[in-house]
Amino acid sequence: MRGAAPVNAPGARRRVAVLGATGAVGQAFVRLLAGHPWFELAELAASGRSAGRAYLEATRWIGDAPPAEVAGMTVLPADPEAVSADILFSALDASVAGEIEIAFASAGRMVLSNARNHRLDDDVPLVIPEVNPDHLALLDVQRERRGWPAGGGIVTNANCAAIVAVMALAPLHQRFGLRQLFIATMQAVSGAGYPGVASLDILGNVIPFIDGEEPKIERETAKLLGTLDGGRVVPAPIGISVHANRVPVEHGHTICISVGLERRASAADALDALREWRGAEAARGLPSAPSLPLRVSDEPDRPQPRRDVWSEGGMQVVIGRVRNDPVLDLRLVAMGHNVVRGAAGASVLNAELLMAHHAQRLARP
């Protein structure tokens, strides 16, 4: 699953820690960082009652089996005094993430966060490496404005559904300009964490509501596709209407999109744009980057979450049913792994991007 044009590995592996390591996304970080070529999973931390306990006792491990390296590890408090790594992956709950992440950043550490708290802060980059790696320049604004020491910063990844949608939309925006979007999501239960959605609520059912999700997708999409201008991101001026739904699927958000463009394009034009897209140069060859950011399926009934979600280890978004739209220009379906591409893998890729191209913004190893 690893990238085509390998980036030179930095020298020694860099020590990293996971904050909020016991939850569902925390576990995904642990799985993706175990054996990572550039990072050494050195510390696990959590807020609240888990600190001080053995990691595997404090954790209700929900996947097949935890990696060997965490077997003997103890959960540390999510506190810059207790955690020594200076690259941190945050899977903290939004109720605590805001302050804890700032505590780490103001102590000169770099936080790669999956939490929603700072995503829309003016000076916090919200990044998908293939789409808007240039937004990382906000790190300088951020450090200066907040008075953080060198090496301190917060980089966020977007909401899981926004990431999948934007991966599919970026090539169209770059080539034809997006004007209007109608988005209907069918989101997997793992997007709600663990225990998350009760089985009595979702077995054989659809829940046409996810609290706070629709505005998140609308705003984060506009920021991700926005333009860096004078130390801030100008959101892309796209009209966006979202319907967010929960469906009884384990992993994989499936997203139907009707697209209105600035410059007319047919389904064939769109297919060309999607097939040819390689994503930003800076993201190519990173250890967690897929060989191609998108796979376009020719099957009439794909993508499907159960069948396509693990495409390139879950880091590739799969597109299908690209067709003309009777009202706007195009319709299509995008599907991606909400926990990998849409959460933990997104932050790991962001960290790789920093390591490969922004080493000067990190603390000295």
Interface residue with a second copy among 62, 73, 102, 141 (CB under 8 A) is 62
Task: Report the SS3 class of residue 206.
Answer: coil
User: Is 304 a binder of a second copy (CB under 8 A)?
Assistant: yes
User: Is 320 a binder of a second copy (CB under 8 A)?
Assistant: yes
The Cα–Cα gap between 124 and 133 comes to 13
User: Is 9 a binder of a second copy (CB under 8 A)?
Assistant: no
Task: Report the SS3 class of residue 51.
Answer: coil
**Quick one: which segment of 78-86, 175-183, 273-281, 340-348 binds a second copy (CB under 8 A)?**
175-183
The Cα–Cα gap between 35 and 288 comes to 12
Q: Provide the angle, in degrees to the nearest 10, between the axes of the packed helices 160-176 and 267-276.
A: 110
Q: Provide the angle, in degrees to the nearest 10, between the axes of the packed helices 345-357 and 24-33.
A: 40
Interface residue with a second copy among 310, 357, 358, 363 (CB under 8 A) is 310
**Quick one: which segment of 106-114, 118-126, 161-169, 330-338 binds a second copy (CB under 8 A)?**
330-338
Q: Pick from 57, 37, 38, 41: which is nearest to 49 by CA?
A: 57
CA dihedral (331, 157, 122, 151) positive or negative = negative
User: Is 114 a binder of a second copy (CB under 8 A)?
Assistant: no
Query: Quick one: 202 or 280, whose CB is closer to a second copy?
Result: 202
68 CB burial (10 A radius; 0-12, 13-18, 19+): exposed
DSSP readout, 313-346? Answer: GGTSEEEEEEEE-SSSSEEEEEEE-TTIIIIIHH
Q: Site residues for a second copy, window 250-279 (CB under 8 A)?
A: 250, 254, 256, 258
Positions marked active-site: 160, 253
Q: At closest approach, how far in Å is the CB of 303 from a second copy? A: 7
Q: Taking CB under 8 A as the rule, which mask of x and - marks residues 215-254 in contact with a second copy?
A: ---x--------------------xxx-x-x-xxxx---x
Q: Pick from 28, 25, 20: which is nearest to 66 by CA?
A: 28
**Quick one: which segment of 6-14, 75-83, 278-286, 331-339 binds a second copy (CB under 8 A)?**
331-339
User: Is 64 a binder of a second copy (CB under 8 A)?
Assistant: yes
User: Residues touching a second copy: how many (CB under 8 A)?
Assistant: 61
Tokens standing for 35?
């054996």
CA dihedral (168, 169, 170, 171) positive or negative = positive
Judged by the rule CB under 8 A, the positions of this chain that interact with a second copy are 24, 62-64, 180-182, 184, 186, 189-190, 194-209, 211, 218, 239-241, 243, 245, 247-250, 254, 256, 258, 300-308, 310-311, 320-321, 325-328, 331, 333, 335
